[in-house]
Homo-oligomer: A and B are copies of this chain.
Amino acid sequence: MKCTRCTEPAEVKLRAHNSAFCRECFVFFFQRRVERAITHEKMFSHDERILVAVSGGKDSLALWDALVLQGYDTIGFHLALGIGGYSLRSREKTEKFARDRGLRLEVHALTEDGLAVPDVIASTRRPACSACGTMKRHHFDRAALELGCAALATGHNLDDEAARLFGNVLHWQTEYLARQRPVMQPRHPKFVRKVKPLYLTGEFESATYAFMRGIDYVVEECPNAAGATQLAYKAVLDDLENRFPGTKLAFVREFTERASAAFALPEDRETTARSCEECGMPSFGALCSFCSLRAEVERRQAERAARAGAPAAPA
């Protein structure tokens, strides 16, 4: 098997692209694909500062690496979720990546707010991924604003996007379909553009890139991750991809280019007019989703404490 680009012996084969690459050419190919996604979708420019949300996994670290090599002005942001050893290892890998390369990394630990994901799960009925998503959105938005970034880049890859699109399509969740785009323009002056430069890059590609670039990443999945449904969708898409290479790429790319506009919401639906009374970030109601969640956790923890010691509580 020879490299499609230089005809040297190839190390990796990409059936979806009908190509094979040697190490050097694969790294070139990967970075060019990321760059093309950024320019084609007008994600950001070299004049802008970008906040990169880095979990410590292959996708976000590969993305950060590629952006840095392409000369973008980046700051890494890691949200430490407090999910036991998994979160500790994720933070360590992220910090080591930044330290080794002399990159600026900001870390916020949910444990310091008393809002580690396990605390939230224990004291509310919110599903873990839902609560975690609320906290991520809040802290990513807040950090991007405070750090003067023009855009927030996340490592969502083609496999993530295809599975999400598949789920939304199976139930024709038209509001979610309207929001599934590689670039989401901000709906409020305090929000920044949200972009997914890897939306057409498969997880096999980002894992290969991380390996070839010597990036040490967290391999384990979040212990709370992906319920049966999402895994079933991924399995179905993997099966189709095996039989018809390029299925995921066509599914997500054609949606973005040809169908997504059909689901666009009217402009006025997209506007968030108010500010959260607690944190000042944009909000639909008096409190933003994050501050509502925090208030709920605090209230339930107080109730529990009262029941544990107070005369009113049952045995």
Q: Please tell me if A240 contacts chain B, counting CB pairs below 8 Å.
A: yes
Q: Please tell me if A211 contacts chain B, counting CB pairs below 8 Å.
A: no
Q: Residue-by-residue, is A168-190 near B (CB-CB < 8 Å gives 1, otherwise 0)?
A: 01111010010000000000000
Q: Which of B169, B172, B232, B259 makes the CB contact (< 8 A) with A243?
A: B232
Q: Please tell me if A270 contacts chain B, counting CB pairs below 8 Å.
A: no
Residues in B whose Cβ lies below 8 Å from that of A247: 170
A171 touches B236 (CB 8 A): no
B250 touches A170 (CB 8 A): yes
A239 touches B236 (CB 8 A): yes
Determine the residue in chain B with the shortest Cβ distance to A233. Answer: B240
A161–chain B nearest beta-carbon distance, Å: 14
Interface residues on A, range: 20 to 34
Q: Please tell me if A254 contacts chain B, counting CB pairs below 8 Å.
A: yes
Q: Which of B172, B229, B240, B254 makes the CB contact (< 8 A) with A255?
A: B172
Q: Residue-by-residue, is A240-273 near B (CB-CB < 8 Å gives 1, otherwise 0)?
A: 1001100100110011001100110000000000
Q: Which of B174, B236, B243, B263 makes the CB contact (< 8 A) with A240?
A: B236
Determine the residue in chain B with the shortest Cβ distance to A264. Answer: B262
Q: Residue-by-residue, is A131-151 near B (CB-CB < 8 Å gives 1, otherwise 0)?
A: 000000000000000000000
- Central interface residue in A170, A243, A250, A255, by most chain B CB within 10 Å: A170
B259 touches A232 (CB 8 A): no
A171–chain B nearest beta-carbon distance, Å: 6
Given the complex of chains A and B, what is the CA–CA distance between A243 and B170 in angstroms? 14
Residues in B whose Cβ lies below 8 Å from that of A236: 236, 239-240
Given the complex of chains A and B, what is the CA–CA distance between A308 and B123 in angstroms? 85
A172 touches B254 (CB 8 A): yes
Given the complex of chains A and B, what is the CA–CA distance between A193 and B52 in angstroms? 54
Determine the residue in chain B with the shortest Cβ distance to A259. Answer: B172
Residues in B whose Cβ lies below 8 Å from that of A229: 244
Given the complex of chains A and B, what is the CA–CA distance between A171 and B174 in angstroms? 18
Residues in B whose Cβ lies below 8 Å from that of A243: 228, 232
8 Å CB contacts to B: which residues of A203-252? 228-229, 232, 236, 239-240, 243-244, 247, 250-251
Determine the residue in chain B with the shortest Cβ distance to A253. Answer: B172
A residues near B, CB below 8 A?
Answer: 169-172, 174, 177, 228-229, 232, 236, 239-240, 243-244, 247, 250-251, 254-255, 258-259, 262-263
Could you list some 11 contacts between A and B, CB below 8 A? A169-B169, A170-B250, A172-B254, A172-B255, A172-B258, A174-B262, A177-B259, A229-B244, A232-B240, A236-B239, A259-B263
